[in-house]
Chain A
């Protein structure tokens, strides 16, 4: 499985790509495989401040539904609109076209507590 080194990860299987005080968030290759065919992504927190570990949305797959958890505290600035018509992008390209939300970080100090690619790979047994 693929876990890009430049990203940070959570034990809940989200990845985060930090660009200054902004960041992109999605789910990992491991998570998309576990969920299987994704039907839609529901983000009901657009424009809101969400704390770390709080639910910012849900992913509905054919087989099951899963909550999405914030890796760090932040404000949800944008949802990846491509996913409205092509939710399968999360399965096909979880780290690029399959990104889910863009946020502004409210506590840069929380970054240090995220997992590295190696630590996350260890967590999922790779």
Chain B
């Protein structure tokens, strides 16, 4: 199992460690609810160094990215980030990714830890464009500093104007005395904040500096458990749960990052699917009776007909309600539709709602 550069720091903080995508990761330190609330209303920091980073470089780099990704990367400019996915040839998704344009000929792709090898092979296979590819995952650490107080708390660590940065943009600069930190106004929580990419050798210095300036704001370390409840309240897809090799981006509600303004892997089939509609759709739901829906639970209509499956579910710490995502037959996707989640032999009433489950601004 792989450690991150900060594993010792997590153990010293008495984190509960779990194996996740081959990495030894903190799932919680104090408890999911308190950590969740800390990020929603204050400031928390996650070690998400398990994520993968590829650098793509060359005169034709945009052609390769346009070929393998579903969003239109030609819209990017230097310092701009785009959410995208890598469609496979059979209608599913290889991975969902972030695309960073560093300069005209250089991009960084950020991929899920569990898919690093698969994505690398997939992109390499389509690299008929002479693009130089570098996998820097093993030497790159990533800290996500998330919460409404992030910009205020971190400002003293850099001369870059953090509160002036637009969502989904990045800058490179000196941060906490470390050169060449990539500061990204992104996150997976909906609470606002920044993601900081540094070399492993600087990770501990960055971690310590963040805690020092965060202390007056009540900063806490946050585990993957709260990361999951935070992203689910926003309705963000998790690869391996809500999207995978068999789910189409259109079914998953990722039509907004599937742009038919260009040709890409499987785009012809996806255009057809868009025209004809798909048989199922990913929807959000909340339970109206006591219970918690979990990944894999079946969904029924009021006549007891099987209409779908839960892909993610939890008790929302903010709403104190059970929420979830799942695929259902297209006839049951309208907001307010009554559906039933089978929880241990009982059909528990739920209704379809449109994510995000909580309405807040992301910045």
* Chain A interface (Cβ < 8 Å from any Cβ of B): 33, 36-37, 39-40, 42, 58, 60, 62-65, 91
Q: What 5 A-B pairs have minimum CB-CB distances, sorted nearest first?
A: A37-B33, A39-B315, A62-B32, A60-B292, A62-B315
- Whether A62 and B225, one on each chain, are in contact in the complex, defined by CB atoms closer than 8 angstroms, is yes
B294 engages A62 (CB within 8 Å): no
A65 touches B28 (CB 8 A): no
The smallest beta-carbon distance between B189 and chain A, in angstroms, is 16
Asked whether, in the complex, the Cβ of B290 is within 8 Å of the Cβ of A62, the reply is no
**How far is A60 from B313 in the complex, measured between Cα atoms in Å?**
12
Let me know if A62 and B344 touch, CB within 8 A: no
In the complex, the answer to whether B32 meets A63 with C-beta atoms within 8 Å is: yes
Query: Which chain B positions have C-beta within 8 A of A62?
Result: 32-33, 225, 229, 314-315, 317
Q: Which of B16, B290, B292 has the most CB of A within 10 A?
A: B292
B314 to chain A, nearest CB (A): 6
Given A58-B344, A62-B317, decide whether A37 and B32 contact each other with a Cβ distance below 8 A: yes
Which residues of A sit under 8 angstroms from B344, Cβ to Cβ? 58
- Whether B218 sits at the interface, judged by CB under 8 Å, is no
With contacts A36-B32, A91-B31 known, what are 10 further pairs, Cβ within 8 A? Answer: A33-B16, A42-B290, A60-B291, A60-B292, A60-B315, A62-B315, A62-B317, A63-B27, A63-B225, A65-B294
Given A60-B315, A62-B314, A63-B225, CB of A39 within 8 Å of CB of B292:
yes
**Chain B residues within 8 Å of chain A by Cβ, number:** 16
B residues near A65, Cβ cutoff 8 Å: 292, 294
Bound-complex Cα distance A65 to B322 (A)? 13
Q: How far is the CB of A82 from chain B (nearest CB, A)?
A: 16
Q: Mark B213-249, 1 if CB is under 8 A from A, else 0.
A: 0000000000001000100000000000000000000
Q: How far apart are the CA atoms of A123 and B315 in the complex, in Å?
A: 31
12 A-B pairs (CB sep. < 8 Å): A36-B32, A36-B225, A37-B31, A40-B290, A58-B344, A60-B292, A62-B314, A63-B27, A63-B32, A64-B294, A65-B294, A91-B31
Q: How far is the CA of A73 from the CA of B254 in the complex (A)?
A: 52
Q: For A36, A39, A42, A62, which residue has the most chain B Cβ atoms within 10 angstroms?
A: A62
A126 to chain B, nearest CB (A): 15
**Which B residues touch A42, using CB under 8 A?**
290
A36 CB contacts on chain B under 8 angstroms: 28, 31-32, 225
List B contacts of A39 (CB < 8 A): 292, 315
A40 contacts which chain B residues (CB < 8 A)?
290
A32 to B290, CA, bound (A): 21
Q: Which A residues lie within 8 Å of B315 (CB)?
A: 39, 60, 62
Min CB gap A83→B, angstroms = 13
Q: What is the minimal beta-carbon distance from A67 to any residue of chain B, in angstroms?
A: 9
Return chain B residues, CB-CB under 8 Å to A91.
Answer: 31
Q: How far is the CB of A53 from chain B (nearest CB, A)?
A: 18
Q: How far is the CB of A94 from chain B (nearest CB, A)?
A: 14
Q: How long is the Cα–Cα vector from A42 to B225 in the complex, in angstroms? A: 23
Give every chain B residue within 8 A of A37 (Cβ-Cβ).
31-33, 317
A88 to chain B, nearest CB (A): 9
Roughly how many angstroms separate A60 CA and B348 CA in the complex, as a whole number?
Answer: 15
- Nearest residue, chain B, Cβ from A42: B290
Taken together as a complex, chains A and B put the C-alpha atoms of A40 and B291 apart, in Å, by 8
Q: Which of B239-295 contact A (CB under 8 A)?
A: 290-292, 294
Closest to B225 in A: A63
In the complex, how many angstroms separate the beta carbon of A103 from the nearest chain B beta carbon? 21
What are the interface flags for B289-307 relative to A under an 8 Å C-beta threshold, 1 for contact and 0 otherwise? Answer: 0111010000000000000
Interface residues of B in 84-129 (CB under 8 A from A): none
User: In chain B between 307 and 328, which residues have their CB closer than 8 angstroms to a CB of chain A?
Assistant: 314-315, 317
Which residues of chain A come closer than 8 Å to B32, judged between CB atoms?
Answer: 36-37, 62-63
Query: Residue of B at shortest CB range from A39?
Result: B315
Q: How far is the CA of A65 from the CA of B293 in the complex (A)?
A: 10
| Alpha-carbon gap, A82 to B76, bound state (A) | 56
Give the CA-CA distance A64 to B295 in the complex, in Å.
10
Q: Which residues of A contact B16 (CB under 8 A)?
A: 33
Q: Complex Cα distance A37/B291, Å?
A: 15
In the complex, A126→B150 CA distance in Å? 39
B26-49: which have CB < 8 Å to A?
Answer: 27-28, 31-33
A37 to B225, CA, bound (A): 11
A65 to B27, CA, bound (A): 16
Instruction: List residues of chain A with CB within 8 A of the CB of B27.
Output: 63
Chain B 185-215 against A: per-residue CB contact (8 Å), 1 yes, 0 no? 0000000000000000000000000000000
